[in-house]
Structure 1
Amino acid sequence: MSSGIQTGQLNTSQFETHASTAKILNELLETSKKIPTSSELGSIQLSVNEIRRRAHELREKQPVEQDHTKAHYLLAGSGFAFEDVESSLKQLRSKQLIEQTIPNRQVEGEVETYLRVKKEENILSSIEHLLSSAARDFDNFVNQKLNSDWIQRKDEVRENFGILVQNKAKLGDFNVAPFNPEIPTWGNRKSSILNSGRTSLNVNENYMVREKFESYAKVIHRFNNARQAGRPFPLTKELLDIMHTSGDSKNQQLLESWKILEELKGHRDVVSTAKVHLQTQFFDYADKLYQKNLNEGLPTNINKIKSFIQSKLRNTNGTWKVGNLTIVNGVPIWALIFYLLRAGLRNEALEVAVTNKASFKKVEQSFLTYLKAYISSKDNTLPAEFSAKLHTEYTQHIKSSLDGDPYRLAVYKIIGRCDLTRKSIPSVTLSVEDWLWMHFTLIKDQVSDDDPVYEQYTLEDFQNIILSYGPGKFSNHYLQILIMSGLYENAVQHAYSISEIDAVHIAIGLANANLLSISSEQRVNELKEKDKLNFSLSPDNNRTVDFARLLGNYTKSFRFSDPRIAAEYLILIALPGTAEQIELCHEALMELILETKEFTILLGKINRDGTRIPGIIEERLPLLFLRNEEEFLRKITENAARRADEDGRLHDSLLLYQLSEEYDIVMTIVNSMLSDLLSNTDLEQPLVTEDDNNEINPILIAKKLLSIYMENLEISKKVHSKNKEMCILFLKLADARKTFHARQWQNALTQIEEVDILPFSDETSARRKAQEFSALNEQLIRIIPNLLIMTMSCIHHLVADLNKSDYHSISKTQQIAALKNVSRNCMMYAGMIQYKMPRETYSTLIKLDVGI
């Protein structure tokens, strides 16, 4: 009993020892899983069978008696008794948990397991690599985005605190309507001419706006036709006629502005044009008043002005509204002379002065001499000796007269340009037009150094006064005043606050008359300014209009609905004829082409026989300063194709290169598309579906283009023979894929063999083709992995079908042997190039090979 009890106790003790050791081993195993890893090399993932194999190899290399001394150091701090470990290992070995003899019947299962595990490892490795790459790309993107956003926010904060950001100009104190966004950097690939500004205009908003838009568009179309034919075209008159359709206050302002522009077509100087316009406008008004009141006698110019004076200066009770008037025969004589001058009737003014000479006071006796000299001079200036005398008389008698006629004061001031510190007389200048006319009359364009400072009054001085007052001072007259005073760029800007569509056409009219200061590409880069659509302020304080941007922005609401009209407007960018504007015009047209994708409308098309049908842009070659079709293809169509290619728009670039007659490039792109399709489409998926068409599917595109190129000898000459051969090869492989998808294994294998890419014959062929692999076209290299899988799949299915057959013959054996020979050659070839293919490809091939 005691012996048995002792034995039982011993067994229990040994069991407890082994259990304790196993527990510690398990704890070590669990702890090891929690060890952090920071290596980018990835984790080691081995299957149970692989561990078993490597452990067996390591054990065979060790001597029978092993020195475990070094293991003591490893396990010294772990709480292990090394003897317990050794006994545990012996126990495990005795139970064949570490190694066992693998029966022959299990070999096939182990190989299959190995292949399955190997495939899983490859898949996991690929996924891990993709996740790692995606994480790095995301981190880089976030870093770049945060950095760029911080820079932008920093600039905005600095501007809000009044700190000027470098390379940005300040508009100064000009009173302009805050409207639109920053000026882009033309020529910079990141910029856009068509989409660089904000606009509230929608030409399809309602019927009235659409009708006005179409009316303007018809005029612009006829204008371009006339320019192309070299004929004169009354642009401002045509645009003025459109304005006559409406009579509201805003349109009245625009109407008057167009009248001024119409008068500017003779290219007279600003001051003369303004005076003539104001004088004509005043006389027309006086004439209308005369027609309502025919009591002033015959319809002479003098009588018409008398009628105006009676209507405007006389009260209903017969008294005069203005005091101290010099009345002769019931007529205020100085007022009559003033308004005759105001109406531009200088000879009639002289006639009245001569007729009433006797009524002049003693201090006024010299006036007739001054008036004759003033009227007879070309520039309405007095000779020096007359000027000096008149100034003396004006200072001593006229200006200081307490009961003097205000119109006499005005007439002397006009003729002698006297007392320019006080340029208007409130009791005389009854309207804004009168005020303007007085200022224009006092302006002296040619100022000499001999002129006293107090007599110097130039157009620039007057312009500064206008800008300092701003629109609030002149109400609904500000646009006309800006145009009359030569502030054309400001006029365009202000017109936007009235009507954007009209502002654009005012700018076109001014540009056509060479009156608009248009910014070049270089100036726009230098003069970037936020929230100003049309304007920049250059270092010399000259304002400029970004004509390209103005027109590009205008096309926003109709470039997709009316691409033809958009093209007509964008063609106007080259209207000034400078190199910069021509380049911007070409750039804008390329943007229109790429954005709307209306290739046929804008660029035309090529028939099967190679003949070209031009589009709207090509029809305007002279207006684009392009000499011929070849230059058009190079500068517009080919550049647009290249741009689309750079942006990754393969289908667009394909069509554009086709239109630019770069047929070899077209074939190169088609081959690239075919290569991508054959290499990236799952073998279970069809390459062509019922929904595909010859404008989207690469195979259908290739077949269509190849047939055209082969039929037309001139086109065929422009395509490199290697490109054509490659396209034919890809189409053959596409046919093989179609057969493969239909599960016609033998036919598919025959089609693959015909292209002669893979080694079907012998091992020598396999080695030779493997050596030639690196020299193959990159497009062809990409499809070889799928081609190998297709081949091995065909062989796998054919051998399986033959093995299922109950019929046994030498022929069947030979067929299987021939197929396996092809399989061996392909596997040898694949083994030599496996590191140049995706990892999963070789694993798939091994699995297929094992199953053959």
Structure 2
Amino acid sequence: MSFTTNNDHAFDRLKDKDYTNSSSKVLNDLVETSKNLPNDSSEFESIQLSINEIRKRASGLRKDKEAKQIDHTKAHYLLAGSGISVEDVDNSIKSLQSIHIIEHHVPNKQLEGELDNYLRLKKDENIISSIEKLLSTASKDFDSFVSQNLNLDWEQHKDEVRENFGILVKRKNMDSYKSGSRSVTPAVPKWGGNNNSILDSSSGFRLNVNENYLLRDKFERYAKIIHAFNNARQVRRDFPLVNEIISMLNSSGDSKNRQIMESWYVLRDICTSKVDDVVIRSRLYLEKQFMEYIDDLYKKNPNEGLPTNINKVKSFIDYKLKKSDNTWVLNNLTIVNGIPIWALMFFLLRAGLTQEALEVAYNNKSSFKKVEQSFLVYFKAYITSSDRKLPAEFAAKLHIEYNQHIKSSLDGDPFRLAVYKMIGRCDLSRKNISAVTLSLEDWLWYHFMLIKNDVSDNDPVYERYTLEDFQNIISSYGESRFSNLYLQVLLLSGMYELAVQHAYSISEIDGIHFSIALANSRLLNITCTPINCQPNQIVVMNGIKCEINFAALLGNYIRSFKHSDPRIAAEYLILIGLTDSEEQISICHEAIRELVLETKEFTILLGKINRDGTRIPGVLEERQPLLHLKDEKQFLHKITEQAALRADEDGRVNDSLLLYQLSEEFDVVITIVNDLLGDLLSSTDLDQPLFGIADNPETNYILMADRLMQIYTDNLEISKKVHTKNKETCLLLLRIADARRTYTAQQWQNTLSQIEELDLIPFTNEVEARRQAQNLMSLEKNLVKNIPNLLMMTMTCISKIIQDLNESTFQSITKTQQIESLKKVARNCMVYAGMIQYKMPRETYSSLIRLDIAL
């Protein structure tokens, strides 16, 4: 006990009360003096009294009190030199007792009750202290476990990052399985964690192809085309992907969204064009489209004369630029013989009829003004050039004439101004001439005519106009400026990534197939960054360049049908490697592995192993060339084996077993089965049966191991791929399982015979026991962990047999010899157990000793 704490608290409470001055003075002095008493921090040890001593002293004090013989002698020593009289202290204590601050004398029974309470509380405190200690230990163990695993994860993550940057990382190989460790890191970046899954199902995509009949029907139609597309790719045959989709949409009557349908026509021309340049390709498309429109218009409103291209364009001009009273819409047109010749040349160029435009210019040169006399020279040079570009000397002269006469003409023909601008690319700071662009298509075509692809640093700033400049104009205008033509504008201006994004916002299923068609034509900038794409955010910016997350787009598309239609899902994921880039191929393989693990459709996707050991390929192996895998061996390694590694890492034992089986890693299969079988036999109580009524090879590891050993034994090719030691271990474990089954049936003698045949427990003599004890660690680990159970089974069987013999009434020398022989086996086992006791659970060794004593 420590007096310091109790006294301090009591005196602190006293100081807060308003008592008589004398009492307060006395107690204050006592408090100050008491500070000199020993405490926990002093050099004296605390006073410890036993319960008996406390009871004895309490009894003595009680008797003194009852006799009213209060002896203050000891207090004299306590208060010596303090200047405090004993009488004053006594009066103060009586005063405190009167106000119940200090308790009065308690009866003997009450004191004993308090001691019991003290002991009970002390016991509770000890129990709580023990629990807290156990919790603290468990917490430390858990922290240590987490720390070790986090370190491992960081090491693995570091290796993955190093690999992504092309730094070689020395990896564990399959030998680690032989040594007992199955923690093998995949050789590809792991996208499955940290919200980086390619097949992420938590994103906000709303598309569900099974939502209604119409959507399901459209999905199936698209899926048939993709399947046929992959078939053609596999045999390196051309496939008109866009044409097939257009035919499908037309036949299905899906004309709900005209913008999508028209955009497919644009996409068809873009994808089939042999021209690489965006500007030229789109200009040719617009010219072709305009000519088709003129033809249709001429058929509806035929004019006099032959249906030549010039007459057709004249008919168009009459239709567009003449009023009902036969007057012209514009007042400042140059009319020759009733024909606006500059408008005619402009729209002939608009239709791509350059020779006809040159013909009109020659036929009407006499009507040209003086300032226009040199135009024919420039125009002929422009038309006959291969790149629609004037020679430098002509361009300089044309620019001078344009700036001096054409640009400043107040009543000039707007079509003359437009033609001069186009052939000379003049005054590009003011590009628009609203009077000549009668439609959005005209506006697009006119800008494509002004764009200069080969801009040099020597060109004046006001003469520079590139495709990027035009794309920036379109981006600044946005969807609202172009309304329902925005998707076509994006496609024609070469902004394919934004076109896919916009198409996706209109129709998700069409947007997906837009991306496939563009990726097939190598027109998409595809990012290899493993990001999670969200709706309307499938395009990312890499500097000033747009990139599309093609893998994530396809991964999210199959989200709603990967479980219901895994075959179709596989066909779409194979398209990730469409661009032939190494990064996309690697992502494609990873996506395929994720599909395999998520759907667990191993038979459909990867194939199956027949009872004779032959493997039937699945859908993915049939698409091996499209996965950029050279042969079956590479397929098994890149897809099946890597999926098995991932399943093993995730703790999906049954999945990993099947996948290793499909990847023909038969030795790894037996290694894992041995681990499972060893754990099962060593961790199951001996009185617990190892087989259930509904057990089958998929749920019971014993039956699984037995079936695999039959297959591997019958098939010599497979048997060669399995290490002999692994096969021997598996057979021994299966024999231990048989012994366990006999033991559970209480067939003691048969169990002993089975254990003896295993040759894992010494039955013969002590020399053998010592030898086996010394060679214990040379045994396979799964056999070692089952030694304790085998010893318990042996000793229990011996105990039961001896008990039965002793209880029998039959007496003979044979009976005595049999009992002695059993006890000899028991002694051998105990010698063996004594030598390996620290390699088995303590309770097992204690149980063995009890069984030995009872013999």
TM-score category, normalised to shorter length: 0.7 to 0.9
Tell me which of 589, 593, 596 is aligned to 1:593: 596
Q: Does 1:723 align with 2:730?
A: no
Do 2:497 and 2:539's aligned partners in 1 also have CA atoms closer than 8 Å?
yes
Match of 2:243 in 1: 237
Match of 2:758 in 1: 755
* Alpha-carbon shift at residue 731 of structure 1 (Å): 0.9
Match of 1:535 in 2: 539
User: Pairwise mapping of residues 721-800 of structure 1 onto structure 2 (< 5 A)?
Assistant: 721-800=724-803
* Alpha-carbon shift at residue 35 of structure 1 (Å): 5.1
Tell me which of 252, 260, 264 is aligned to 1:253: 260
Q: Does 1:545 align with 2:548?
A: yes
Tell me which of 429, 433, 441 is aligned to 1:433: 441
Q: Does 1:268 align with 2:276?
A: yes
Match of 1:417 in 2: 425
* 2: CA distance, partners of 1:381 / 1:677: 83
Code of the residue aligned with 2:792 in structure 1: it is I
Tell me which of 204, 213, 218 is aligned to 1:212: 218
Tell me which of 114, 120, 123 is aligned to 1:33: 123
Residues 359-406 of structure 1: CA distance to partner in whole angstroms, max 9, x if unpaired? 333333333333222211122222333323333333333333332222
Code of the residue aligned with 2:266 in structure 1: it is K
* 2: CA distance, partners of 1:389 / 1:278: 30
Residues 306-357 of structure 1: CA distance to partner in whole angstroms, max 9, x if unpaired? 2222322333343433332333344333222221111111122222233333
Tell me which of 197, 200, 204 is aligned to 2:206: 200
Match of 1:647 in 2: 650
* 1: CA distance, partners of 2:786 / 2:130: 31
* 1: CA distance, partners of 2:497 / 2:294: 32
Do 1:654 and 1:669's aligned partners in 2 also have CA atoms closer than 8 Å?
yes
Q: Does 1:685 align with 2:688?
A: yes
Do 2:197 and 2:532's aligned partners in 1 also have CA atoms closer than 8 Å?
no
Q: Does 1:509 align with 2:529?
A: no
* Alpha-carbon shift at residue 722 of structure 1 (Å): 1.1
Do 1:296 and 1:304's aligned partners in 2 also have CA atoms closer than 8 Å?
no
Residues 528 and 591 of structure 1: CA distance in aligned 2, closer, same or farther (over 3 Å): closer
Match of 1:165 in 2: none
* 2: CA distance, partners of 1:819 / 1:715: 43
* 2: CA distance, partners of 1:212 / 1:648: 39
Residues 550 and 699 of structure 1: CA distance in aligned 2, closer, same or farther (over 3 Å): same
Code of the residue aligned with 2:479 in structure 1: it is P
Q: Does 1:626 align with 2:595?
A: no
* 2: CA distance, partners of 1:251 / 1:594: 40
In structure 1, the gaps of 5 or more residues are: 1-12, 44-127, 149-184
Report SS of the residue matched to 2:623.
helix
* 2: CA distance, partners of 1:800 / 1:219: 79
Query: What percentage of residue pairs aligned between the two structures are identical?
Result: 59
Match of 1:567 in 2: 570
Match of 1:323 in 2: 331
Residues 32 and 260 of structure 1: CA distance in aligned 2, closer, same or farther (over 3 Å): closer
User: Pairwise mapping of residues 400-479 of structure 1 onto structure 2 (< 5 A)?
Assistant: 400-479=408-487
Match of 1:697 in 2: 700
* 1: CA distance, partners of 2:739 / 2:789: 12
Q: Does 1:671 align with 2:761?
A: no
Tell me which of 612, 617, 639 is aligned to 2:615: 612
* Alpha-carbon shift at residue 142 of structure 1 (Å): 12
* 2: CA distance, partners of 1:250 / 1:691: 56
* 2: CA distance, partners of 1:472 / 1:645: 53
Code of the residue aligned with 1:503 in structure 2: it is G
Do 1:571 and 1:585's aligned partners in 2 also have CA atoms closer than 8 Å?
yes
Tell me which of 341, 357, 370 is aligned to 2:365: 357
Do 1:254 and 1:479's aligned partners in 2 also have CA atoms closer than 8 Å?
no
* Alpha-carbon shift at residue 537 of structure 1 (Å): 2.4
RMSD: 3.3
* 1: CA distance, partners of 2:222 / 2:302: 41
Do 2:729 and 2:780's aligned partners in 1 also have CA atoms closer than 8 Å?
no
- Matched length: 711
Tell me which of 295, 299, 302 is aligned to 1:291: 299
* 2: CA distance, partners of 1:260 / 1:357: 41
Residues 641 and 143 of structure 1: CA distance in aligned 2, closer, same or farther (over 3 Å): closer
Code of the residue aligned with 2:246 in structure 1: it is L
* 1: CA distance, partners of 2:583 / 2:127: 60
Do 1:275 and 1:437's aligned partners in 2 also have CA atoms closer than 8 Å?
yes
Q: Does 1:366 align with 2:374?
A: yes
* 2: CA distance, partners of 1:412 / 1:231: 47
Code of the residue aligned with 2:443 in structure 1: it is W
Report SS of the residue matched to 1:543.
strand
- TM-score, normalised by the number of residues in structure 1: 0.77
* 2: CA distance, partners of 1:450 / 1:738: 93
* Alpha-carbon shift at residue 547 of structure 1 (Å): 2.5
Do 2:198 and 2:591's aligned partners in 1 also have CA atoms closer than 8 Å?
yes
Tell me which of 137, 142, 147 is aligned to 1:137: 142
Tell me which of 203, 216, 229 is aligned to 1:223: 229
* Alpha-carbon shift at residue 461 of structure 1 (Å): 1.1
Do 2:533 and 2:552's aligned partners in 1 also have CA atoms closer than 8 Å?
no
Code of the residue aligned with 1:643 in structure 2: it is R
* Alpha-carbon shift at residue 666 of structure 1 (Å): 1.2
* Alpha-carbon shift at residue 453 of structure 1 (Å): 1.7
Match of 1:67 in 2: none
Residues 616 and 422 of structure 1: CA distance in aligned 2, closer, same or farther (over 3 Å): same
Residues 537-564 of structure 1: CA distance to partner in whole angstroms, max 9, x if unpaired? 224x222223322222222222222222
* 2: CA distance, partners of 1:501 / 1:832: 71
Do 1:296 and 1:307's aligned partners in 2 also have CA atoms closer than 8 Å?
no
* 2: CA distance, partners of 1:660 / 1:316: 79
Do 2:262 and 2:488's aligned partners in 1 also have CA atoms closer than 8 Å?
no
Greater length-normalized contact order (CA 8 Å, ≥ 6 residues apart) = 1
Match of 2:822 in 1: 819
Code of the residue aligned with 1:703 in structure 2: it is D
